[in-house]
Amino acid sequence: MKSAAQPPEPRPGRLASLRAVLGVVPGTLRLVWAADWGGALGLVGLTGLLALLPAAVAWVGKLIVDGVVAASGHGGPGGPAGPDAAARVAWLVGLELALMALQLVLNRLAGLRRELLRARLGNLLEERILQKALELELRHFEDSETYDKMQNARREAPSRPLSLALQLVAIGQNAVTLAALSGLLWRLSPASVAVVVLASLPAFLGEARLAGESFRLYSWRAPEGRRLNYLEWILTRDAHVKEVKLFGLGPLVLSRYRELFRKFFAEDRRLALRRLANGTGFGLLSLLAFYAMYALMAGRAAAGAITLGDLTLYISVFRQGQAAIQAVLAAVGGTYEDALFMQNLFAYLAIPAGGERPRRTPAATLPRGGPLPIELDRVSFRYPGRDAWVLQDVSLTLAPGETLGLVGENGAGKSTVVKLLLRLHEPTSGAIRWGGVDLRDLDPADLRARIGAVFQDYVRYQFSAAENIGLGEPTRLHDRARIEAAAARGGAEGVIAGLPQGYETVLGGWFEKGHELSAGQWQKLAVARAFMRQDAELLILDEPTAAIDAEAEHELFERFRQLAVGRSALVISHRFSTVRLADRIAVLHGGRLVELGSHQELLAQDGRYAHLFRLQARGYLE
């Protein structure tokens, strides 16, 4: 068994792996095209022009040197002569100036196109990542492997796709440049072309190997990267400050953060040192090759076999050729590394997420106008990959217009029932029917539009107070009358009245001028948010009174009872003072339905409900 502290060994089949990696290149280019096809074409055109300029500048430089030698009366083989030599040199210098100015302008334009393309592509990918998050089901968010894929995708999305596209452009640009320079180099020394290529190959092979190791390192550390982010979250978010201060957790959390950082730094340092060693060694090899050929050509120039301009051309072209081929090989290696990381992005975007689609096409429809019976028929459920059953063989019917209380110890399966009703999970066995129709045959959006809910873990949106309520019905987000009516029903009017800018007050402490609320005030807004959905057929309150006092709880439940008239309602609570007012109460224990009846009926049975009720009542009396 491999140690958890060691990255996995590279897998065999490198050729197959290379094909798989390079298989993401077409998909990446399609993303670039979708982001800004005009900008991409413009960048390719500018790059093509830039690719030809180095050879042109080198050739004009050779002509200038030969012209200067001829004008001074020391013309060599093939050099120009005559009274117009000085004028020609001046003209050639002007031509080189024009070429260099053109190169400068084209480089600036290409840089502009790259920045605009980077912005558009980054935005497109972030939107697709977020869109994918909307398509994922609850089971995906409860899976650590999916979180790793999401983290890898979000970390690399801003840079890798454009980097891969630009690497391909760089390969094309430098290949064209290299071809033009090789033509000039070939006329002076055909062997030099082979030397340029062979001297650059070792550096490419070494860098490609390190690119693969870099990818494995960053992919393998994704879970620990999440842990590092979590430790940072503990020390920087307001929700943790009280316990961090009270229990003196700061030094412990900070020490764990430092330990993980030191581990990451040691891994990065080892990789950087290897890159340094490879780069230095192979750089010296290329330098040696250049000066060996330089000495050879200088000897030929001294013997009069070539002109001084030819020697100058050779030095310039050899250096540029070396740089071009190294740039090509580095871009190939960079493309390989970028493609490895792009596999993460495409793996995330390819996560199957069709589990919420209706089983039938078109989806079944339900009549509007009033509540329908909801039936759990021998429902059992356990989470994927786990053996323990959360619910076992639960059969229960919620009659139209009925208020049903759901009680049980923590872990009894109460909140799981809510998740199944919302189709956030599917029953492992059994069925849930709404108006006689299996939920799996309904459109999830239509199903959820019939439900209003307040969850125990309600969200504190760092938006305005009006938006915190209005988000309960996004299509009515700007309907102030509807928002105010929902605030009144949810008991949030007093909270709004005490805010500095009323409904326009930004809530929470994340942004400038944000106004923080107490837990009870946040919860009243969450209840008001649920009341935005006035045409809901089913109301769900999942521990809605956990953060408010007894008087506010009674007031809330009275409001809830009034709103629930003509609707079905499901109330989950540990407070029996709340659930006792329900028409019937279902008692879950160990994932099974063990009792069902009214408050008085269950007390008369003297079973589990009566036992729990007396325990809680005794706690109030003592």
pLDDT in tens, 251-303: 888 888 888 888 888 878 887 787 777 767 766 776 676 666 667 667 777 77
Long-range CB contacts for residues 142-151, cutoff 8 Å, separation at least 24: 142/383, 143/384, 144/223, 146/351, 147/226, 148/222, 148/223, 148/226, 149/344, 149/347, 149/348, 149/351, 150/348, 151/222, 151/225, 151/226
Domain ranges of the chain: 24-349, 460-535
Instruction: Convert the pLDDT of each residue in 360-411 to its tens digit.
Output: 888 888 888 778 899 999 999 998 778 889 999 999 999 998 999 999 888 8
Res. 24: pLDDT tops 50: yes
- Measured at the CA of 487, the angle between CA 486 and CA 493, to 5 degrees, comes to 155
CA distance 204 to 337: 12
- pLDDT for position 114: 85
- pLDDT for position 213: 67
Best mean pLDDT range from 143-147, 164-168, 180-184, 431-435: 431-435
Res. 544: pLDDT tops 80: no
- SS3 at position 256: helix
Give the H/E segment covering residue 238.
helix 238-246
Phi, psi torsion values for 388, nearest 5 degrees? -75, 135
Region 85-109: what's the mean pLDDT? 86
Instruction: For the chain, report the end-to-end CA distance as a whole number of angstroms.
Output: 56
Q: What share of the chain is helix, strand, coil (3-state, %, to 5)?
A: 65, 10, 25
Res. 112: pLDDT tops 70: yes
CA distance 521 to 513: 18
Provide the b/e sequence for 208-234 (b: ≥16 CB within 10 Å). bebbbebbbebbebbeebeebeebeeb
- pLDDT for position 15: 45
- Measured at the CA of 331, the angle between CA 326 and CA 336, to 5 degrees, comes to 130
Res. 548: pLDDT tops 80: no
- pLDDT for position 12: 39
Res. 463: pLDDT tops 70: yes
Q: Name residues whose C-beta falls within 8 Å of residue 103's C-beta, 6 or more positions apart in sequence.
A: 50, 53, 57
- pLDDT for position 596: 94
Between 74-88, 452-466, 575-589, the lowest mean confidence (pLDDT) is in 74-88
Q: CB burial class (10 A; 0-12, 13-18, 19+) of residue 478?
A: exposed
Report the candidate in 451, 371, 459 with the shortest Cα–Cα distance to residue 418.
451
- pLDDT for position 550: 64
Instruction: Convert the pLDDT of each residue in 555-578 to its tens digit.
Output: 767 777 777 777 899 988 877 777
Res. 337: pLDDT tops 50: yes
- pLDDT for position 432: 95
Between 53-67, 202-216, 320-334, 606-620, the lowest mean confidence (pLDDT) is in 202-216
- pLDDT for position 348: 84
- Indicate the CATH number for domain 24-349: 1.20.1560.10
Res. 135: pLDDT tops 70: yes
CA distance 266 to 260: 10
CA distance 299 to 301: 5
- SS3 at position 244: helix
Percent of the chain with pLDDT over 90: 16
